Amino acid sequence: MGNLATSQQVRHWIDSPHMKEKISSALGGYMSGDMFVAQVALAVQEPSVAKCSPTSVFNAMLEVATMGLLPGKQHSHVALIPRKGALTVMPQWQGLKHLMERQQHVRSVRAHLVHEVDEFVVEEGCVIKHQYDPFDESRVFQHWSKGDCGLRGGYARIEYTDGTVEYHFVTSAKVKANADCAQTQSNWKKWFPEYCQKTVLRDCYARRAIRLDPETEGRLGVAVRAIDEAEQNDADRGGYAVKPGERKLPKGQDTLAEVLAARPEPSSDDSDVSAEEDSIDVEVDLFE
């Protein structure tokens, strides 16, 4: 056994009744154990995975099973990342989406990003219009270090089987604060749109914006902790899109400040003006 390659050892491992029982326990009936084992056998054939220590591969696969996800590039549920000879697990946005959509009462969950050039209309918390030219070369989402990232924000569209549709909105500042938590920005720079989508879905879970059954909530919790561990996220590093001293007022607050500054000082004759007449209607940008 000690001289066998990692992939051969893993295949021997998954054929063991004891390990099959452990996998079955981790899956908890969430999916077929045979299907999971078959996907493990394919995943360990990847050269980068096969170079990792067998123990780390075993533990990684059990972690994936506990999340209720599948290994393998064909699913994109998780990224299997070798680090100093050990295999680590990084859940992807597709994995978070898969878990949310596994619930019987959820029809679909889709994460959308809103660019500065998009036509975007929201009424009473519902997206009425999100229109853009997919061939517009100026519609590029890029990391903040490369200049204007183009991101206004993102939102999740949650459709339930009873026909109900709900939305959850995430500002660009919130996405940036999440990104700042990571020890390095290398992954954010390389896969910026994908990481923004993952942040939208993660925030959807964190804010309890989607109705979750207890089992799915637990599996999502495992996935989120795995993301934090893989990225070495630290909440104390989280920041804002710009330094606090440089932050601009949101458009609605900025407009209100200008209107108030332009108003004349009230005189004694104005004391009987009602609160309703004295109010100011200001439209606030959802993503500012």
Clarify whether residues 71 and 130 are in a common domain.
no
CB proximity list for 107: less than 8 A, separation 6 or greater = 101, 159, 160, 161
Residues 147, 162 contacting (CB under 8 angstroms): no
Q: What is the pLDDT of residue 5?
A: 58
The residue-averaged pLDDT of 143-171 equals: 96
Among the candidates 71, 91, 111, a domain finishes at 91
- pLDDT, tens only, 252-286: 444 444 544 554 554 444 434 333 333 334 344 55
Q: What is the pLDDT of residue 262?
A: 54
Clarify whether residues 66 and 197 are in a common domain.
no
Clarify whether residues 52 and 132 are in a common domain.
no
3-state helix, strand, coil in the chain (%, to 5): 45, 15, 35
Give CA–CA dist 284/288, Å, rounded.
Answer: 8
Residue 93 — very low, low, confident or very high, per pLDDT cuts 50/70/90?
Answer: very high
165 pLDDT higher than 80: yes
Give CA–CA dist 250/195, Å, rounded.
Answer: 24
Residue 14 — very low, low, confident or very high, per pLDDT cuts 50/70/90?
Answer: confident
By residue range, what is the domain housing residue 46?
A: 6-91
Query: Does residue 136 lie in a domain region?
Result: yes
Flag the least confident range among 10-19, 112-121, 248-257.
248-257
Query: Does residue 263 lie in a domain region?
Result: no
Buried b (16+ CB within 10 A) or exposed e, 12-42: ebbeeeebbebbbebbeebeebeebbebbbe
Q: What is the pLDDT of residue 151?
A: 98
Q: Reduce the secondary structure of 159-213 to three states and give it as a string.
A: EECCCCEEEEEEEHHHHHHHHHCCCCCHHHHHCHHHHHHHHHHHHHHHCCCCCCC
Clarify whether residues 127 and 219 are in a common domain.
yes
Clarify whether residues 123 and 54 are in a common domain.
no
Clarify whether residues 64 and 191 are in a common domain.
no
Clarify whether residues 229 and 131 are in a common domain.
yes
The residue-averaged pLDDT of 3-10 equals: 63
Query: Does residue 195 lie in a domain region?
Result: yes
Total count of domains within the chain? 2
Output 11 or 72, whichever has higher pLDDT.
Answer: 72
Clarify whether residues 137 and 46 are in a common domain.
no
Q: What is the pLDDT of residue 188?
A: 96
